[in-house]
Amino acid sequence: MANATPVRVRFCPSPTGNPHVGLVRTALFNWAYARHNEGTLVFRIEDTDAARDSEESYEQLLDSMRWLGFDWDEGPEVGGPHAPYRQSQRMEIYKDVAAKLIDGGYAYPCYCTTEELDARREAARAAGKPSGYDGHCRDLTAEQIQAYEAEGRKHIIRFRMPDEATTFTDLVRGEITVQAENVTDYGIVRANGAPLYTLVNPVDDALMEITHVLRGEDLLSSTPRQIALYKALIELGIAKAIPEFGHLPYVMGEGNKKLSKRDPQASLNLYRERGFLPEGLLNYLSLLGWSFSADQDVFSIPDMVAKFDLADVNANPARFDLKKAEAINADHIRMLDVKTFAEACEPWLKAPHANWAPEEFDEAAWQAIAPHAQTRLKVLSEITDNVDFLFRAEPVFDEPSWTKAMKEGSDALLRTARAKLDAADWTSPESLKEAVLAAGEEHGLKLGKAQAPVRVAVTGRTIGLPLFESLEILGKEKALTRIDAALAKLTA
């Protein structure tokens, strides 16, 4: 790229609770944009809300970003020229900027009480007038201020909005104009002196020389205020330029309602616990508002980065579709090499998730079955139910499976199958298949019907990994003992 200033984007979450998928999508688009343009990703922690932010959420946020495979060029743990990157450690900076804004006449103390503001807002509404802040304290005289102070009133700091419309070109949504009466003077510092998001977010974007602000559509309405604040910061020599803004589309959940942070489906931890691969989840999330190509939904993250362009981000709301997320994740599971797949399954194979005792785990059997499991799973947590038959002394019969597979005549079929399996070559799944096929023929059953009771007898379930490979890996002795046990149960 010959022309432009280097790209500097930021990801700046507040550490309030579990990370959610909307946040991950925002992080992903910023990260991909930075990497695609060989720019800089700034990771900033917006933890100025002491009541809602917690150290635990902060740790969880960092852990999530690492798990997802994101790296950042400036921010926590890596530092950078604009350190510190936690807003709770930057309070002096905001205090200083707020003072400069007041000195320059860009902001002023507002002494209105909540009751007064509410009453005037109600009155304006009733009169059909705009109901934002009415500018009551815009031009208080020194005497008026003294009088309020003498009354013991507290004040917030308000930013003075210019009396003109704001027009900007959103990188996703095109040109946007907001009339002055819809954006009134707004608070930037609380009565207790704590700076608000409205101040600290654009101030840090300015100081950190952010060139592109990419974030969720819910923040679109704060943009005209931020642009006005930027202009003031430029006049004060604090900011260099106004960044470009791009607002990513809403993500819709069940029933076409906006996916909310509190929605269980929105929780990143849920996807981790269910065994999504980070690359599978990111592949899916990248499709929420962006597309790789008209006919390809599955791709690697490096390929996504190579193609990522804001021009391809769509302004329409995106629908979160769990089935599709799982299908894409399944494709990513298939794409791993077997060794990586086997390693990725480890957390589920080790207690306490597993339905077998740690000493029952059989590494050789696992290595043998892993390639077959890899072709079947949608999410890694499904591994336990698929391989537990190998490790437990006896299968645990799933009741519906038993009822479904063990019908009238199943005992006769199982007896024949047992005899034929006993005579088969247990080093060849083909030979085991022929045995069950032949047993089925004797009883007028196709392979599918004939193998169901065998499968349930040996694994406990009607659904599972390829049966004949499973039998071979389990071994003749155990398999035949289980068929005997099922026969005993059937005739009891």
User: Which residues carry a binding-site annotation?
Assistant: 110, 112, 137, 139, 261
**If contact means CB under 5 to 8 A according to the sort of partner, which of ligand GLU, Zn ion, none does residue 12 touch?**
ligand GLU
Q: Both ends of the chain: CA-CA distance in Å? A: 78
| CA diameter of the chain | 106
Binding to ligand GLU by CB under 6 A, coded x per residue (else -) over 12-51, reads xxx-------------------------------x-----
Take residue 137 and report the two structure tokens written for it.
């304290």
- The count of chain residues that interact with ligand GLU, using the rule CB under 6 A, is 7
CB atoms within 10 A of CB 160: 18
**Binding of ligand GLU by 211 (CB under 6 A):** no
Residue 460 gets the label, from left (phi > 0), alpha (psi -120 to 50) or beta, of left
Cβ at position 83, least distance to ligand GLU in Å: 18
Take residue 322 and report the two structure tokens written for it.
């769990």
- Applying CB under 6 A, the span of 7-15, 112-120, 129-137, 432-440 interacting with ligand GLU comes to 7-15
Binding to Zn ion by CB under 5 A, coded x per residue (else -) over 411-450, reads ----------------------------------------
Cβ at position 22, least distance to ligand GLU in Å: 9
Q: Is 240 a catalytic residue?
A: no
User: Which residues carry a binding-site annotation for Zn(2+)?
Assistant: 110, 112, 137, 139
Q: Binding ligand GLU by CB under 6 A: which of 198, 201, 286, 410?
A: 201
What are the phi and psi torsion angles at 168 (to 5°)?
-145, 160
Cβ at position 225, least distance to ligand GLU in Å: 11
Binding to Zn ion by CB under 5 A, coded x per residue (else -) over 109-138, reads -x-x-----------------------xx-
Residue (201 or 459) nearer to ligand GLU, CB: 201
**If contact means CB under 5 to 8 A according to the sort of partner, which of ligand GLU, Zn ion, none does residue 201 touch?**
ligand GLU
Q: Which of residues 278-297 bind ligand GLU (CB under 6 A)?
A: none
Take residue 407 and report the two structure tokens written for it.
């019908």
Q: What does the alpha-carbon distance between residue 389 and residue 63 come to, in Å, rounded to a whole number?
A: 34
**Catalytic pick among 100, 261, 307, 478:** 261
CB atoms within 10 A of CB 141: 8
- Output b/e per residue, 335-346; b: 16+ Cβ within 10 A: eeeeeebbebbe
Cβ at position 57, least distance to ligand GLU in Å: 12
**Binding of ligand GLU by 215 (CB under 6 A):** yes
Q: What does the alpha-carbon distance between residue 230 and residue 203 come to, in Å, rounded to a whole number?
A: 8
**For residue 71, what are the CA distances in angstroms to 42, 74, 151, 395?**
10, 9, 53, 44
Q: What does the alpha-carbon distance between residue 100 and residue 79 come to, in Å, rounded to a whole number?
A: 27
Q: What does the alpha-carbon distance between residue 441 and residue 460 come to, in Å, rounded to a whole number?
A: 24
Q: Which value, in Å, is the radius of gyration of the alpha carbons in the chain?
A: 31
Q: Which of residues 340-399 bind ligand GLU (CB under 6 A)?
A: none
Judge whether 75 and 34 are in contact, CB under 8 Å: no
Cβ at position 130, least distance to Zn ion in Å: 16
Judge whether 64 and 20 are in contact, CB under 8 Å: no
Residue 11 belongs to what H/E stretch? Answer: strand 8-11
Cβ at position 65, least distance to ligand GLU in Å: 14
Judge whether 70 and 27 are in contact, CB under 8 Å: yes
Residue (57 or 201) nearer to ligand GLU, CB: 201
Cβ at position 210, least distance to Zn ion in Å: 31
User: Which residues carry a binding-site annotation for ATP?
Assistant: 261
Q: Binding ligand GLU by CB under 6 A: which of 117, 219, 336, 485?
A: 219
Q: What does the alpha-carbon distance between residue 216 and residue 251 come to, in Å, rounded to a whole number?
A: 9
**If contact means CB under 5 to 8 A according to the sort of partner, which of ligand GLU, Zn ion, none does residue 13 touch?**
ligand GLU
Q: With H, G, I as helix, E, B as strand and everything else as coil, classify residue 170.
A: strand
Which spans of this chain sit near Zn ion (rule: CB under 5 A)? 110, 112, 136-137
Which spans of this chain sit near ligand GLU (rule: CB under 6 A)? 12-14, 46, 201, 215, 219
Q: Residues with catalytic annotation?
A: 261
